[in-house]
Amino acid sequence: MKIIKQAINLILVLLVFSRVISGLGIDLDEEMYETRDVSTAFRLLDFDTYYGSDSGLDERSGSLHLILNDEDLEDLEKDSPSTKVIIVTIHKYLTNSSLEIFAKEDSKVEGVVVLHGTDQEGSVDTAPDHFSPFSKIPQQFSGLHTSDETTWEWNPNSNLVFYTKWNFPIVYLSLEEESSEILKHAQENKEKDKTKYGISITGQMYGQYDSKVCLRRKYCDPIGGKSVYSFLGGQYNDSKPTTLVHCSIDSISMFPNYSPGYDSDSSSIAVLLAVFDALTDTAKTGAGMDWTSTDRQIMFGFWEGEKWGHLGSKRFLKEVEEFKCTDYSSGKKSCETPYRYSLQFTEIDLNNIDESIELTQIGLPSTDLNAYHLYAHVERNDKEDESIELMQYVDDVSKNSSSDSIQVTTISQASTSTPGIPPSSTESFIQQNSDIVSIVLSDFNEHFTNPYYGSVFDNGDLKNITQLVSVANLIARTIYAKALGITNLTTIPLELVVDESLLETLIDCLVTDNHCEFYENYFDSEYGEEYVTNYPGVYSENTGRLQSIFIRNFLQTKTFPASFGSCESDSDCKEDEDGDDIYADCIKKKCYKRAAYYHQAYSQDIEYNTDSSKYEIDSKASNVWTESRWANLSCKSFLFADTTKDTLLFALGLAFIIIYYIIYFLFRKFSIKKFFNVKSLKQN
Amino acid sequence: MTISRFLGCLLISYSPLIALFLKFILKDSKLLIISLSGAFFWMLSIFLSSILWFVVSPWKKEHIWTIIVSFIFQEVVRFLCFKLWNKLETSINLLSRINKQKRKINYILGSIACGVGFGFGYVLVMHTGVLTNVIGPADLYTTKCNMSLFVLNSFYAQAFGLLNVIWTSIMFLSIRNYTKKKLKGKPKRKYLVYLFVSIISHLVESLILLVNSCTASLLVLYLILAGLIILLVKLIVDTMNEKKNEYNLLKQNQESSSNEDKNENFSQEINFLDDNKSEENEKNKTDILNFEDEDEDEDDDEDDEIEKNDDLDEEEEEEEVN
């Protein structure tokens, strides 16, 4: 009975205690934890599998462990650390072999932090000689030469680290930002024995299995964006032969938020925009230049999502041929379902696009800096000879221009050992119409010369403005000659050269700085982060990437510089000053007549089903890339607790209770003895 | 960090209090109530001092004034508890006599229970509140001390928990002995000295916390604690001796004259020495010099015997009453 009463007393006490404690906690999170800004690596899903890293449901924490050279890696392999660790390393060790060491069961690795940039002391060299995580044959499954037919490795530098899945998070840390303290902490961890700094990373990726399953379950979204195209002169004529001058506008890297893509392909965008600027400048082309009255029409194309299976070009070609609108807007000016703000593309006659000149990876000069050179690739099909003729035409323009002392690149045909054109948007056009005459211009011959293809290091450190100016001059003059059908190439105006400062500014804005001053001419407000990423991102009907919007605004304002009226959105620009219906868009609060068009870019093999609110994959699809949905990434740094002695502490606590109990017991015995002079009370 | 660190620190900080709790306080529900109300009153003192801290903004950065103010509030509330305890004691003993329970509250145990309450409140607020952050991968660590601050703080909290018990006991006993009506003699000044020493030691130990050292101040803390234990023991011995003297004097008075009226003046003071049943008095002389509770017989080394003894004693008491 007594025990029960005592037990009840004890339980009541504990209840009160726990209730009080739950309300009493003082939050020391601010003193103990410091949030860090990091970017996570991807999780991308393909048709039958997924790739990438994931932190899982729990927070992954560990003490920082620095690996900067081979010895560190060997040490880690030999003796696994005593506590959980998070590796801090450089891109050189972002390889499958190192990551396998990290992923071993007893390695206690909870995550990887990859450093980039230079720290203030310059003690850590983060840039490897080469780093390319993506395929050795890019865009293999959507290109002309599928894996069955060719094994030509355009990108032999690749370490294929993209194509693996890891069950720990891999995050990216730029040393130029405040978070570079993490490097200092990791270095201190190496020196001392006791205090360890640690970080914790949480960032769960929801997508599992593959694209089919996760689209069905809505754990991922298809990759896509907006392509842009425009006709020089601003009017489309469906009976004129058309030369297509184009490039792709997206790039890739292991860390989607940091994907500058200078060589591939922002340099091409900058060149083409500078060319467009020169061609629409009457001071350079001559006062009477009217692009709508030329013999040949010039079409500029900027395709989005090319690296993920030729998304932009293939969908464009598909919809030009067969587009069904289920729900037109009033006046049939645009389509509501699926959303296409402009239906101009339905008027295009693909048979008239009989020539194509594409720029890809034109930003790196050859080793001989005095001679700027490009290689022209042609496809080995029926039109090979005509393509070579096209190449020679460009070559003639080059020779003519250089004899007039204009800076241009030289052209030569690429090596015949390659299977044909490199991975490019032209592949889609040839697939659609094998009669097209095409050349692809690039700075590489047989294999990519860019050691950093598809990585965060393709950031313009290796840029050469003179190379770009040379390419741009050549392209501008070639287009001029082509459009007017000139045979006497000396009649190309000497003033037709591109603006070098414009080219530099474009490179800066497209590769380095989203908040550059130049953009203020084309945007009302600043968008996004300062760092540039050319990763297309998830497809959305209404919005597009900053670069897509910029390209459209640039082309449109160059074609029809005269604006009319003021506006807040596109819907305010439906009528011009005379009150007639017009196609126009609102750019920086002014209406500009429409001259450049968006086209939604996403996989041709999926369509959005509004009834089920899901994307459905076509049964004949071979390759659909999707991006996993993710929980917010968070990273905190703190002093890492040494938990090896914790059970000892618990035992110590119990021991103290027993000690004190014994002390009281003895005290009592002693006092009884002293006061009552009896050994125990029982005797009485 | 692991749960075992949390529990370890918790146990270390509460260990003297838990041991006292298990040994003495759980046996008697009255003591339990006293200790919980002691905790409540201590929290009240901290609450008042925190209001003052909140209101007077210059103090927010200077810790010394906060410490002194909270010290003043704690001592004042301790004194108030003493007053309350005095008032309650007579009615509780009256209640137990009415209910024909032999158990009365032993004075010393009562003061210890109140001290346990105070200590409990202290450790709860000062240490356990902060300790809730120990669950998680991070740590509060200093290289100077080479140990986690949570662990260090738990030792400080342990010392202060025990100290609170001692301060409360010393205050209660010394004031009681000083103000108690005596059959003969004057109240001794030394009790005031004891009281003064205990209060000053509280101030000193609180101020030691301002010193940013690791184990050195902890050592000083424990040294003062040892000194105070000796003081407490001395005080208890003095109390017991006084009781002995009082009892002897009472006996003498009883023998010398049969005038019980005189004794009745003191009966309220020493009623805990006396039980209504004189027969029982003779039988259980130990009741008179009642250092420990009457559950003495039952509380033996082996827990197994406790139950049997309890039942036996209850039966015995019932028999005797009947």
pLDDT tens across A396-452, in order?
A: 999 988 888 888 898 999 988 888 899 999 999 999 998 999 999 999 988 998 888
pLDDT in tens, A213-246: 888 888 889 999 999 999 998 999 989 999 999 9
Whether residues A25 and B7 touch (CB distance < 8 A) is answered with no
What span, in angstroms and rounded, lies between the C-alpha atoms of B83 and B15? 29
Select from B140, B290, B309 the residue whose CB has the most chain A CBs within 10 Å, as the one to mutate to test that interface.
Answer: B140
Buried b (16+ CB within 10 A) or exposed e, A463-502: bbeebbbbbbbbbbbbbbbbbbeeeebeebeeebbbbbeb
Q: How far is A186 from chain B (nearest CA, A)?
A: 15
- Counted residue by residue, chain B has a size of 322
> What pLDDT is stored for residue A463 in this prediction?
84
- pTM: predicted TM-score of the whole model, two decimal places: 0.78
Q: Please say if the pLDDT value at position A609 is more than 70.
A: yes
Q: Which residue of B has its CA nearest to A29?
A: B133
Q: What is the pLDDT of chain B when averaged over all its residues?
A: 76
**Best CA proximity match to B118, nearest among B76, B175, B87, B64:** B76
What span, in angstroms and rounded, lies between the C-alpha atoms of B169 and B196? 13
Q: Please say if the pLDDT value at position B181 is more than 80.
A: no
Band (pLDDT 50/70/90 cuts) for residue A147 is low
Q: Which residue of A has its CA nearest to B239?
A: A675
Q: How far is B110 from chain A (nearest CA, A)?
A: 16
Whether residues B19 and A661 touch (CB distance < 8 A) is answered with yes
Q: How far is A187 from chain B (nearest CA, A)?
A: 17
What span, in angstroms and rounded, lies between the C-alpha atoms of A459 and A262? 5
> What pLDDT is stored for residue A623 in this prediction?
76
Whether residues A657 and B15 touch (CB distance < 8 A) is answered with yes
- Find chain A residues with C-beta within 8 A of B311's C-beta: 1
Q: How far is A73 from chain B (nearest CA, A)?
A: 25
pLDDT in tens, A322-347: 998 888 887 778 888 888 888 999 99
Residue A481 near residue A449, CB atoms below 8 Å:
no
State the SS3 of chain B: CCHHHHHHHHHHHHHHHHHHHHHHHCCCHHHHHHHHHHHHHHHHHHHHHHHHHHHCHHHHCCHHHHHHHHHHHHHHHHHHHHHHHHHHHHHHHHHHHHCCCCCCCCHHHHHHHHHHHHHHHHHHHHHHHHHHHHCCCECCEECCCCEEHHHHHHHHHHHHHHHHHHHHHHHHHHHHHHHCCCCCCCCCCHHHHHHHHHHHHHHHHHHHCCCCCCHHHHHHHHHHHHHHHHHHHHHHHHHHHHHHHHHHHHHHHHHHCCCHHHHHHHHCCCCCCCCCCHHHHHHCHHHCCCCCCHHHHCCCCCHHHHHHHHHHHHHHHHHHHC
Band (pLDDT 50/70/90 cuts) for residue B211 is confident
Give how far the C-alpha of residue A281 lies from the chain's centroid of Cα atoms, to the nearest Å.
33
- Counted residue by residue, chain A has a size of 684
SS3 A52: strand
Whether residues B297 and A663 touch (CB distance < 8 A) is answered with no
> What pLDDT is stored for residue A49 in this prediction?
81
Q: Which residue of B has its CA nearest to A31?
A: B140
Q: How far is B233 from chain A (nearest CA, A)?
A: 10
> What pLDDT is stored for residue A194 in this prediction?
66
A639 touches chain B (CB under 8 A): yes
CA distances, B256 to each of B249, B263, B270, B271 (Å): 10, 12, 19, 20
Q: What is the pLDDT of chain A when averaged over all its residues?
A: 86
A670 touches chain B (CB under 8 A): no
Taking only residues 193 to 212 of chain A, the set having a beta carbon closer than 8 angstroms to any beta carbon of chain B reads 194-195, 198, 200
Task: Compare CB distances from B5 to A646, A657, A672 and report the shortest one's residue.
Answer: A646
Whether residues A643 and B125 touch (CB distance < 8 A) is answered with no
Q: Please say if the pLDDT value at position B207 is more than 90.
A: no
Q: Give me the mean pLDDT over the A71-87 stretch.
A: 86
SS3 A181: helix
Most confident range (mean pLDDT) of A119-128, A343-352, B179-188 is: A343-352
Which of A338-347, B136-145, B281-290 is least confident?
A: B281-290
DSSP letter for A176, please: T
Q: Please say if the pLDDT value at position B166 is more than 50.
A: yes
* Residue carrying the six token digits 């590796």: A87
CB pairs under 8 A between A and B: 154
What span, in angstroms and rounded, lies between the C-alpha atoms of A596 and A615? 28
